[in-house]
Structure 1
Amino acid sequence: MGWLNLPMCGMDFETTGVDPESDRIVSAAVVLRGGGRPTGRRSWLADPGIEIPAGATAVHGITTEYARAAGRPAAEVVEEVAASVTEAVAAGSPLVVMNAPFDLTMLDRECRRYGLVPLVDRCSPYVLDPRVLDKKVSRRRGSRTLTDLARHYVVPLYGAHSAEADALAACAVTYKIANRYRFLADTPLPRLHAHQAQWAADQQQGLRDYFTRTKGKEHQAAGVRLDWPMIPAPVATGSSL
């Protein structure tokens, strides 16, 4: 049985911003979709402990006041998310994460921030990133947000920028991509994970090269990371006397 017949574990976050090193999780979802089983859904709202900028609220609709009033302590939310993902991975599910280096890095840094065991020390998931997969199989031009991919692969996306809706749509898009390009479905998960690491590096290198040769955008090249599926945590350095 190929991986396309397994339940997929989708994970998605809405956050205070776009920097995993300093921003925080505001809402989270972990879903199980496919494999001939009923869809499973878990969602969380966290009090991130910092102000939610107006720009982030404009994206996901969650204000600082609402998160403080209705959200749970962030450390509890992060622990439950990591535990839910670990349970699904242990049961054999691939982990579907749109733009994996953002969400997986965010989860890693949040775990470390609260003194929790990072996901990399709990399990070794085989990750499926629909953004990387789509860029590999399709040469079309234009944006490749989840909304764009859902439109292209005819996947319903109700409530975009809701963590649960996005996680479910990412799983559905991944299924559609692999079902259309069967070499992906026929590739064992360990090998497909390794392929995506190389594809992602090549794709990001292409973006870095574009910035380097484009007048006025040269400064953006240094910020393009080649890491996938997660940016490694900075190595702590101690001072010597």
Structure 2
Amino acid sequence: MNLLLVEDDSRQVATLAPVLARHGFRVTYARSGGEALDALASRDAGFDLVLLDLGLPDMDGYEVCGEIRKRITTPIIMVSTRGEVRSRIHGLNLGAADYVVKPYDTGELLARIHAVIRRTASADAVERVRTVLYLGSVIIDLPTRQVSVDNSFIQLTPKEFDLLALLARRPGVVVTREQIMGEVWRAGGEGTGNTLGTHIASLRAKLRMPALIETVRGVGYRAVTPAE
């Protein structure tokens, strides 16, 4: 995924760019509206999304959005300290796919980025987005086998990761013990209760979210999303 980050605050870039990179984005950085338009004009640009801060030194961010939209259909997420309804409506009317108000939670920003890409990207890009799973503030990156909570990485064993990923792919759905043992351990369900229970307990402790994985007595387990 190629992402153009338009932001003149170097401290913000230093914080955000590594997080985006860890989640599979190749980040190009533009410090001004002019740099952003030049980057987008490049034949090799091929950006999947533009993350556009409105407070730029040379051009008004709304103007930059308008110029981008005249040239290409790449989705734009506006980022601004201007949180009033009029500002958000103006940005969306100019063609932005979403509008995020500073200060924002990085996990929420990532979720919004992936949501926009799912709505607007090509089939290949959508398939790449599906390689990242979300359970509230828990982010599960399948290609790198990394798990983070509130932008802090959690060290899991291979089986713990496979177990969490299996449940996260089916949030709210009860996965039976037999299914889990068959898919994670490639084994039948008999005589494996202690092993599975131990891994569930370890996951709950490491994630510091005991309620994230619910025990359905006599059946199995399910991942509980925050909305539940």
User: By percentage of residues, which structure has more strand?
Assistant: 2
User: By percentage of residues, which structure has more helix?
Assistant: 1
In the superposition, the TM-score normalised over structure 2's length comes to: 0.28
In the superposition, the TM-score normalised over structure 1's length comes to: 0.27
